[in-house]
Structure 1
Amino acid sequence: MDKKISLDLAQQHYYLHISSAQQQSLFSSVFAYDALLSSLETHTDIDLYGYCLFPDGIHLLVLSHKPPSYWLESWLMHYNQWHQDTTGETGYLFDDDHIHQVLIQPKHLCKTLRHIHYLPVEQKKCSSPEQFLYSSYHDYIGTQQTGVNTETILATLSPHYGQRLRRFYDYMAIANTEAQSVFCSGNHDYYLAYADAHYLMQARSNYQSKLNETPESEHLLTWQRCIQCLVENNGLDTENWLGRQRHHSLPDAHFLLAWMFTQIAKGPLYIAAKQLNIDETTLTLKINSIHLHHPAKYLRYIERSWKTATV
């Protein structure tokens, strides 16, 4: 599974499986479930289509308006900070190295939702999906509202509004016949995607054409503005932020710059890699580990500084 390439495209559906680190519990109380679902409901970069929440892992079906790399890490950090603030615990909750991000072609959304709803049954936590409390199944049958966009999948199951609930019950009454591996690692030989080859080719082509609409000169201007913002608010020189000189207080300043540019300013990774003369794979690993080496409070300070500077 891990040998396949994870796609990071905008305006695509994804099945996300995010495990806890070292099997620790992600939810300290019933209020923690509400807090996580509320943060998903109010998140502007996604539409939530389905979920199933376990103490040691969360399963989500989303429409991601931006590439998941733009929002997923910061969303996890936001919830992690909420957890720390409410429990007094320290450390990071999530296993970032094993997040499964599978692109789902729209025609497979119903099957993927059914897979998610049947996970508690497969794990022997209950005998039917409706018996499990922390699942979007209850949104679809109308007994709860947790911010799930049910309209898209219900309309797919039946074009007639009055028949949708019955059709949902009928559809969910029968478990998937597809192998678990299809949903966990996709059906493509190279990519983590449950989709036809033609659909993937078109999706990647459309996203690349949109990226090319932004001139590189504009990205470079954003890069310079990031450097200026960091210099003005953190006291180190430009040479430190570019990694040409190291400062004992912040030896990874250049990786912080790359994190700010890609995660906060939403610049493309290739620009940061080119400017720092570091390959994209190594830089991605360094960016993803920033939250492990710097307090969340400091990272939020950098984010606020950028937002203030660009108002």
Structure 2
Amino acid sequence: MSRTYPALIAILLSTALLTACGPRLSGADERAFDASRAEMEATLNPTQKIVLEKALRVVVLKAMSDKAEHPEQYRRQSFNAISLKLVDGQSYAGIVELAEDHLKAANQKDQARTLAKIAELEQDRAQTAALIRQLDAFQPSPVEISMDDFMGEDIPFLDLVFRNRGDTDVVGEYAYSVAISSQTSGELLDSQQIGGTFSDDYAVAPGAEHRVSEPMPSEARAHSKARWQQVRFPLKDAAQLDLVIKVETLKFSTRKGTVERPKRSLAAIDAELRELHDELKALGTVRGSLDELELSDESTAPEQAL
């Protein structure tokens, strides 16, 4: 058994020597490259030829990446010119190693960028959550619907009570949104933003209330009118009119400044965070091997520039 070791070592050494002494690519110019590639491919089996094609396409991607990251260093150099310099003097094993090193480095950069995006988004989420907590301190109680005169006609009014649950006076500008949908169909009947400004000598102190009464929008009135005679007003359950009423504080002011609802919701931020974590998990499974790549037959692909 021990006699086989020298033979095995001899085989490995001869393979290494063949690899080291085999054909090498020339990057002198495109004609020289084509000739050296043909010479190299003549020594390769079909599987190795595919690996070489993948490696060369990755080299072009590396050239693009290098130029994008170091524009001053590669000023006035085309992607082909940079690629030819990268492959010049490379053996088959060398070009494969060069390509896979780039794939691994690119994957690490992608992971770092994704982690940075996650950190930034988590910071945005914390700030958004803090603003929403502040807005919730001036969120109205559930809507009560009353019947009152409006230009000589009795119609439903939306009665809102804003209670200041914060620790400072609410003064100046405020705004809120009202969205009314059909409970049966889910159809949005009306959506509007309502706002105002408290007078200079008026403030909603901590623990105090501010009451608002607004006529129900015409679309919602038309939708629910057939049910008015079947219910008793004031009404706390809008479902009896086949309505779902959602009221949300958009903005209010204090002497410390204005608190305004963020444009992006927590749900939207959480959805993006899930996508980024899935992306990071997928990146973590990448080995950076050419075996993980598939060749594209599209002649317009930038990888085919070399």
Compute the TM-score of the two structures, normalised by the length of structure 2.
Answer: 0.17
Which structure has the greater CA radius of gyration? 2
Higher strand fraction: Structure 1 or Structure 2?
A: 2
Compute the TM-score of the two structures, normalised by the length of structure 1.
Answer: 0.17
